[in-house]
Amino acid sequence: MEEVCEGKEFSFPTQEEKILSFWSEIKAFETQLERTKDLPEYIFYDGPPFATGLPHYGHILAGTIKDIVTRYQTMTGHHVTRRFGWDCHGLPVEAEIDKKLGIKRRDEVFKLGIDKYNEECRGIVTRYVGEWEKVVVRVGRWIDFKNDYKTMDIKFMESVWWVFSKLFEKGLVYKGFKVMPYSTGCKTVLSNFEVQQNYKDVPDPEIMVTFPIVDDPLNAAFVAWTTTPWTLPSNLALCVNGNFDYIKVRNKYTGKVYVVAECRLSALPVEKPKSTANGPAGDLKTSSSKTKSGKAEKLLDSYDLLEKVKGNELVNKKYEPLFNYFTEFSDTAFRVVADDYVTDDSGTGIVHCAPAFGEEDYRVCIANQILSKENLIVSVDDDGCFIEKITDFSGRYVKDADKDIIEAVKAKGRLVKSGSFMHSYPFCWRSDTPLIYRAVPSWFIRVEEIKEQLLENNKQTYWVPDYVKEKRFHNWLENARDWAVSRSRFWGTPLPVWTSDDGEELIVMDSVAKLEKLSGVKVFDLHRHNIDHITIPSSRGPEFGVLRRVEDVFDCWFESGSMPYAYIHYPFENVELFEKNFPGHFVAEGLDQTRGWFYTLMVLSTALFGKPAFRNLICNGLVLAEDGKKMSKSLKNYPSPMEVINDYGADALRLYLINSPVVRAETLRFKKEGVFSVVKDVFLPWYNAYRFLVQNAKRLEVEGLAPFTPVDATTLQNSSNVLDQWINSATQSLVHFVHQEMDAYRLYTVVPYLLKFLDNLTNIYVRLNRKRLKGRTGEEDCRTALSTLYNVLLISCKVMAPFTPFFSEGLYQNMRRVCTESEESIHYCSFPQVEGERNERIEQSVARMMTIIDLARNIRERHNKPLKSPLREMIVVHPDVDFLDDIAGKLKEYVLEELNVRSLIPCNDALKYASLRAEPEFSVLGKRLGKSMGVVAKEVKAMSQIDILEFEKAGEVTIASHCLKLSDIKVVREFKCPDGLTDREVDAAGDGDVLVILDLRLDESLYEAGVAREVVNRIQKLRKKTGLEPTDAVEVYFESLDEDKSISQQVMNSQELYIRDAIGSPLLSSTLMPPHAVILGEESFHDISKLSFTIYLARPALVFKSDAILLLYGGNTKSVHGLETYLLSRDHSNLKSEFQLGDGKITVDAIEGFPARNVVLGEHVLLTVGDSVLRTKGL
């Protein structure tokens, strides 16, 4: 394996760029697809985005989710076709062209020419494709851009035609005149789910208007309330609720007589004379009545009750029209009708009906023969302006005309009250103009007819999170309305409907071939300007003329909903591929698509095949700016994706997004610092564990040993080392967990588990195993430990490859150098499988061990006892005998070393050092128990210690006929200090499971061990300060600065083995430092455990046996000096290697006047001062 740099010098973005080049060089994605082509298909539908804008974090999030799932499915044995798609038609594209060409009215498109307009649209559709590909590729997503699909391609459009024709054959298509949400900005109808996308709180006018009753003896008038004054010129009826009581009241001050619902009398204004200094005056003062009850007395002061009738009694009463634009309807219109849609929560209980501008208005007026569908007049044109028939306001935009219409009503003496109120109102999601409801002829899909099947199909799908399916999506399906799929626009897939002028003949095309056959015209493109001119001869004969295509195009949601069929040109191609794999396995998009793409997919698949379109779905939430607002280019309240990637890398961004609430359909406030935290908390620890492996594997070669080759996995599974057993089992648990969660599409649970795993790997396995990994327990044990670390890192890289494709690949490429049989890329590897038995007992024991270490450290901190100060004893209390055996047996050495404690005593008597008491978990039990809570709480608190122990053992207890589980009762353990001792001498800490007790009393016999740890700590810090790598060999010298040097000497002697073990070499007296030693770093320390000293770090220095060398050269002192000079000039590590290769000997022929001589290691020279000291001591 190649050497690697320090974590602080490692650039994740730079490494990722190298990996991208590597993937490109080996054609990694293409090769993966080729290698898996014979495996079972996993069908993934990629929803097509518009290419008229740049990708944002929402796209990156959804793309990352898709990439993780499809990479995982590939590694688990599937062939996953991944083709990028583009939504090319519809309002977003037309809106750009309208803006570019300054088009504001529909007729301006016809003047320009539909051909030129559509080609302008085609020209901008792929404007940002290059930018999209750059970002998507840089994020690490593998998807095919070369073989992408576009909704404007003739094959895609032909499949859309086929979908529509099949629905038509099934009787699910009809043409209707329906009041629909209409965008005057985009000049088209919007579907119900499009309306939901852009509601705003805005002020609108509210007015009350009188409609005088014809031939009423008291000149009474109906009073209606409206928030759309612009609809008043089109009024044709008034609607009451037949079940409500209506009253006729006279204003005491004006004499005016009004008819309103009794329950809405409070809505009328309160009128009374203005008071003056001289008494009452004739002028009236009007104030609004805001509540039903609070103003009752004032209303009675203002009005006299004249009559009370049921709403049904008012039906067919005629009234005087407000305007005279529709006098031709006088015979049937301008009368009262009744319907239950009239409510008592607002207005006057009387609704003004303009059938062309209200869905309920239209229904009620048609049902009551106010007019027929055929003679409905829509008084507002496609641009939202009044037609010529509305003479007073002709050409005016309806919303702009509101004020003038109110003034006209006032001038007629028909205005009762006017004002303004705030309410939530729908705006066009593209043009951001207020929507109006307008009767338009449209082609509809009968969604209401298949509603029950939609709900049943929804049950067959699996969603993450499931509440989006069970609530939001279910509710949307429950209230599904027939879907208007046609748009009076230009750039889209034309409806394949040809009709005769008299409407008697209608043909729906299901293919290009059918159109060519019936028309005799060769078709090369299906857009309007290329087929609108094509006619079909009437089957009834020439005298009946020809059939022409209807002008409408499809709603682009119909196209994207057809994607599962159209992107593979089904049924014209790929029939077997589709029919074997439908429904598709997986889709993923944002929460807004519950009313968009998810909905249209479900509607069309249900209508066509009676099945859902997909089996599994991940629904993500919205990514907001850090301030909680929507990300805005104008506000510049978020960093660009490429900025974040260039700073921290794509892998870090991917994990940040996946490890957030946004994957559970909640919102995420994007913080760049959060991405940095992923680098710091995930990638650097992971990298450092990998670097530690590489350094120590290279060290074997430096020391002249055989290069590192990992021991086979089967042998490693049988390692006798407890930490090897533990990390192997923990790795298998990681594999099992990720398999389990990925198969359930719960991506968000994986990263927290990985974080914990990496923390355990670095802070338990590597930290507690340093001696073994550094070779201080023998070469064989070292190779076993390194092989275990290698195997764990290799498996974790494969497990995380779908999540972090770059980093996993980078580590794998270096690690595969020492593996004889390995794939060229980690992304060609199979996903790891659980191998062998997992040792759950040892996993739990090590977890508890780390808890014990944390608890003991907390006790030390409370009493200001640093870890460098050794303590005499600790007691671990737990009822599990197996755990105590582990902690007092094979795990004992790690606990004692980590906590610097001399002995560990296990205890399974829970009551020896603690008293127990039980408390009810009120937050858990409160709602469940209700009134019984008090009785249960009292009995829980009264539980004896024996009761509590039995409860913990059984896992449940019945109290007051309620069965309580472990989660319902909190068991509190309170430490009982042993007799004769204070809590300053002995203290404890627990977590409800295990109790740790520390003896904190000073013991002079531990003083020397404490000093030794202080010295080792200073040596390690000086190594780091000097910039040394862990594998850099140095010799450490100690010089006492105390007058009485005997104390430090005694410490060095008694703790010699501990210090040598800790620093990897003997601690040498400074008096042994040879004059040719090269000092790399030195530092003096004062009053450290009452001692002062200087530490020197020096390069390993040769020690010469002058007498033996003199004998080698026949007593020639000049030659002795020459050999020493020659050997000192050599590179120390190379010289060491030569001695190892020469079996402890090297031949030197560089001494002038002397033939070659064999210089023997140990006899003539020693490689280090440490070797000399150890040899002198006979070690």
Which of 285, 403, 412, 633 does the annotation list as catalytic?
633
Q: How far apart are CA 292 and CA 945, in angstroms?
A: 62
Residue 55: left (phi > 0), alpha (psi -120 to 50), or beta?
beta
Active site residue 443: no
Distance CA 562, CA 313 (A): 52
Instruction: Say if CB 572 and CB 513 are below 8 A apart.
Output: no
Beta strand spans in 976-1034 (E): 986-990, 995-999
> What is the H or E stretch that residue 658 is in?
helix 650-658
At residue 91's C-alpha, the angle toward residues 141 and 59, to 5°, is: 20
Under DSSP, the state recorded for 866 is: -
Q: Exposed, middle or buried, 479 (CB in 10 Å: 0-12/13-18/19+)?
A: exposed
Given the residues 162, 429, 597, 726, select the one marked as catalytic: 597
**Annotation marks residue 597 as catalytic:** yes
* Amino acid residing at 1068: L
* Spatial contact of 997 and 940, defined as CB atoms under 8 Å apart: no
* Cα angle 226-232-233, degrees, rounded to a multiple of 5: 175
CA pseudo-torsion sign 1017, 1019, 1022, 1023: negative
- Active site residue: 46, 48, 429, 725, which one? 48
Cα separation, 620 vs 590, in Å, equals: 5
What does the chain come to in residues?
1179
Looking at residue 232, what DSSP letter applies?
G
User: Following CA atoms 987, 991, 993, 998 in sequence, which dihedral angle do they give, to the nearest 10 degrees?
Assistant: -20
Extract the tokens encoding 744: 């359930």
277 three-state secondary structure: coil
For residue 6 the two structure tokens come to 């320090």
What is the C-alpha R_g of the chain? 42
Provide φ and ψ at 393, rounded to 5°: -130, 20
557, 583, 612, 1171: the catalytic one is: 557
DSSP code for 460? T
CA dist 280 to 275, 285, 303, Å?
A: 5, 12, 18
Active site residue 469: no
Q: What are phi and psi of 66, to 5 degrees?
A: -60, -40
> Contact 646/652 with Cβ under 8 angstroms?
no
Ramachandran region of residue 428, left (φ > 0), alpha (ψ -120 to 50) or beta?
A: beta
Q: Which residues have CB under 8 Å from 625's CB, separation 6+?
A: 631, 632, 635, 637, 638, 669, 670
Distance CA 803, CA 20 (A): 16
Q: Is 593 a catalytic residue?
A: yes
In this structure, what DSSP letter does residue 434 have? B
Residues 6+ apart with CB under 8 A from 229: 205, 207, 401, 402, 405, 406, 409
Cβ pair 336, 316 in contact under 8 A: yes
Cα–Cα distances (Å) from 1091 to 867, 1010, 1021, in that order, read 18, 12, 18
Contact of 1156 with 1126, CB cutoff 8 Å: no
State the catalytic residue, choosing from 46, 67, 87, 724: 87
Please give the helix or strand (H or E) that residue 697 lies within, else none: helix 684-702
Instruction: Note if 87 is an active site residue.
Output: yes
- Among 527, 556, 603, smallest CA distance to 429 is for 556
Q: Please report which residue ranges of 257-357 form alpha helices under DSSP H.
A: 296-302
CA pseudo-torsion sign 819, 820, 821, 824: positive
Neighbours of 185 (CB within 10 A): 20
Which is catalytic among the residues 274, 630, 938, 1021?
630
Enter the tokens of residue 699.
């060290």
Q: How far apart are CA 277 and CA 861, in angstroms?
A: 82
Residue 630 annotated as catalytic: yes
Q: List, by residue number, the catalytic residues.
A: 48, 87, 557, 593, 597, 630, 633
